[in-house]
Copies of this chain bind each other. A is one copy, B any other.
Amino acid sequence: MSDSQGEEVRGLALFATMGDVNFKALMRGTYVQNFPPRIDLIHENEPADFLHVVLSGAVDLFSQWNRRETSMATVRPVSTFILAASISDLPYLMSARTLEKSRIALIPSQDVRRMFAADTAFATAIAAELANSYRTVVKNTKDLKLRTSLERLANYLLRQSRTRGAPDFDLTTEKKRLASFLGMTPENLSRAFRALEPHGVKVEGSHITITDPQGLARYAKPNPLIDDYST
């Protein structure tokens, strides 16, 4: 891979602290590929041969069982996915497909494991990243088990508004996939948007305006131990 692409990867917390020689060695086996939209990158149950880094575009992580499918997460630049499978040398638990045209760096898992053993700073960063991933999924589970779908949507909108720093914004994802991520059907998401209107939400296509942030927060009851992704 080129040096400029290497810089993008190097900027990630996961790779920022490791030794220069080690990073270069890791990049030697790495290659970058361009993918069109809606391309399957990996399929659950396959061996985790590569750690993936999304450099541009967006990737959906999803799972299937018994002809049902659910969206687990969306990965946006610049971040990695399936580190846990990669480091444990175990099969992927989730599938991944591009949502848009995307540039992905593929780092051989073997190299990641070798470097983990060789570079203490890298090992520390990996543990931090794994701990963070773990906590994110735990928060997600709490969201699913403790809230109704309407409450999940309300809190999702508050989170979006907060991370964008504005009371109005465009949804970054199709409503269909948002529904799946929130654990509901597209039909119910549509009705849920309607049901949030009296709580201060206006929907015009994919543009959302939170007309009454306090009112919405009163209904949603956001909680840092579920909704704060930074801790």
- Interface positions of A (Cβ within 8 A of B): 44-45, 63-66, 68-70, 72, 83-85, 87-88, 90-91, 93-94, 116-117, 120, 123-124, 126-128, 130-135, 137-142, 144-147, 183, 221, 223-226, 231
The 7 closest A-B pairs by CB, nearest first: A130-B130, A84-B131, A65-B146, A137-B137, A70-B145, A134-B134, A84-B134
Cross-chain contact B221 with A87 (CB below 8 angstroms): no
Copies of this chain, tallied across the complex: 2
- CB within 8 Å for A130 and B134 given contacts A117-B124, A146-B70, A231-B91: yes
Nearest chain B CB to A172 CB, angstrom units: 20
Cross-chain contact A66 with B146 (CB below 8 angstroms): yes
A221's closest neighbor in chain B, by CB?
B66
Nearest chain B CB to A227 CB, angstrom units: 10
The binding surface of chain A is classed by DSSP as helix
Which of chain B's residues have a CB closer than 8 A to the CB of A224? 45
Which of chain B's residues have a CB closer than 8 A to the CB of A146? 63-66, 68-70
Identify which of B127, B142, B223, B231 contacts A116 (C-beta below 8 A).
B127
Nearest chain B CB to A70 CB, angstrom units: 4
Which of chain B's residues have a CB closer than 8 A to the CB of A147? 65-66
Cross-chain contact B231 with A142 (CB below 8 angstroms): no
Cross-chain contact A225 with B91 (CB below 8 angstroms): yes
Which of chain B's residues have a CB closer than 8 A to the CB of A84? 130-131, 134-135
Identify which of B44, B70, B130, B142 contacts A63 (C-beta below 8 A).
B142
A134, A137, A221 — most chain B CB neighbours (10 Å): A134
A134 to B116, CA, bound (A): 18
**What are 30 A-B pairs with beta-carbon distances under 8 A?**
A44-B225, A45-B224, A63-B145, A65-B147, A65-B223, A65-B226, A66-B147, A66-B221, A69-B146, A70-B146, A72-B138, A72-B141, A72-B142, A83-B131, A84-B130, A84-B134, A88-B128, A88-B135, A90-B135, A90-B231, A116-B124, A117-B120, A120-B123, A127-B130, A130-B131, A133-B134, A137-B138, A140-B141, A144-B144, A144-B145
